[in-house]
Amino acid sequence: MKKTIAAAALLLSSLLLGACNHNQETDTASVDDPALSIMTTFYPMYEFTKEVVGDAAEVSLLIPAGTEPHDFEPSAKDMAKMMEADAFVYNSPELETWVSSLTDSIDTKQTTIIEAAQAIDLVESEEGHAHEADHDHDEEADHVHELDPHVWTDPVLAIQEVETIRDQLSAAYPEQKDQFAENAAAYIKKLSALDDAYRAAFKDASQRTFVTQHAAFGYLARQYDLVEASISGISPDQEPTPSRLAELKEYVETNQVRVIYFEENASSKVAETLASETGVELAVLNPLESLTQEQIDNGETYISVMEDNLSALQKSIK
């Protein structure tokens, strides 16, 4: 026991001494290495931020590649990383529901907290309310999102998120304002071209309905005057009721839906069942809630995945 106490005391002394040395090293390093440290939650926030800051900051991803962000909960180690960062970028409290409980713990004088969707009015989730009613306010329904957080799947709203990240980082670090503005302008040009491609593709479409695995493309549908019907609600792990599946089967047949879209990073069992029962094609539509490490290593980006999504949607929207 005495050895254990002594060892603990020695460890504590080492940590305290290390903290002092770390502060000295940080002060020294700040002269030689001006790069900021920015923590982002999930992939779109990572790419949007990285495109804005360029080489002016080191951008890291909190939620591991291939991990579903709806159910993610940060560990104590994750919390420590957030507190050490110069800035922390997330989408909205409606997706990263745990953020509201952490902001009181983070020193905002040291870490700039940026809500990328702050300037966007989130819409109510009809699917979420329906699911909640079906479960009669049971435990699972308590986790249903009342608002739809998937704004990044709309290129126009993605531009707004990039602008918010740019503006808030510029306010916090004005000495790099011009670099942030230049980088953001170049990336927004690409997002605007993506928006143009979507508008051109669906401008004269007569069939404007598509069926997805979960309700992640509502904002995209509104932007381009399309209609999304989803198997499950805002969260991909919500299981549809038998009555919902029966409704969708009738919906697919009535509206002559050609394709049912599933997600590579989530279970596609229900989508496969519905496609089999209705005799329609299956295709991938990526909600960009996460990219796998393999996708990242292969150079896939928000832009490239959204271009793939456009090609996939054109199988339905004619």
pLDDT 10s digits, 234-244: 877 677 888 88
Residue 92 lies in a domain: no
Domain that holds residue 290: 203-313
Sign (positive or negative) of CA dihedral 58, 63, 64, 66: negative
Mean pLDDT of 48-64: 96
Cα(140)–Cα(138) distance, integer angstroms? 6
Q: Which residue has the higher pLDDT, 14 or 100?
A: 100
Is 271 part of any domain? yes
Other Cβ atoms closer than 10 A to 32: 6
282 CB-contact burial (10 Å; exposed 0-12 / middle 13-18 / buried 19+): middle
189 within domain boundaries: no
Predicted confidence at residue 33, as pLDDT, reads 54
The verdict on residue 185 lying in a domain is no
Give the separation between CA 90 and CA 57, rounded to whole angstroms: 16
Reading across the β-sheet that carries 209-214, which strands appear in turn? 227-232, 209-214, 259-262, 281-284
Give the pLDDT score at 101: 82
State mean pLDDT over 61-85. 91
Residue 237 belongs to a domain: yes
Q: Is the pLDDT of residue 112 over 60?
A: yes
Q: In total, how many domains does the chain have?
A: 1
| Residue 262 belongs to some domain of the structure | yes
Binned at pLDDT 50, 70 and 90, residue 145 comes out as low
Helix (H, G, I), strand (E, B) or coil at 184: helix
pLDDT single digits (tens) 20-43: 444 444 443 343 455 899 999 999
Q: Would strands 227-232 and 57-61 be described as parallel, antiparallel, or unpaired?
A: unpaired
* pLDDT, greater one: 104 or 299: 299
Residue 298 forms part of a structural domain: yes
In a domain, 287, yes or no: yes
In Å, how far from its chain's centre is CA 241?
A: 26
Cα angle 204, 287, 75 (rounded to 5 degrees) comes to 160
Q: What pTM value is reported for the model?
A: 0.84
CATH code of the domain covering residue 279:
3.40.50.1980
Report yes or no: 91 and 151 within 8 Å, Cβ to Cβ. Answer: yes
User: Residues 186-196: what's their mean pLDDT?
Assistant: 98
H or E element at residue 260 = strand 259-262
Q: How far apart are CA 76 and CA 62, in angstroms?
A: 12
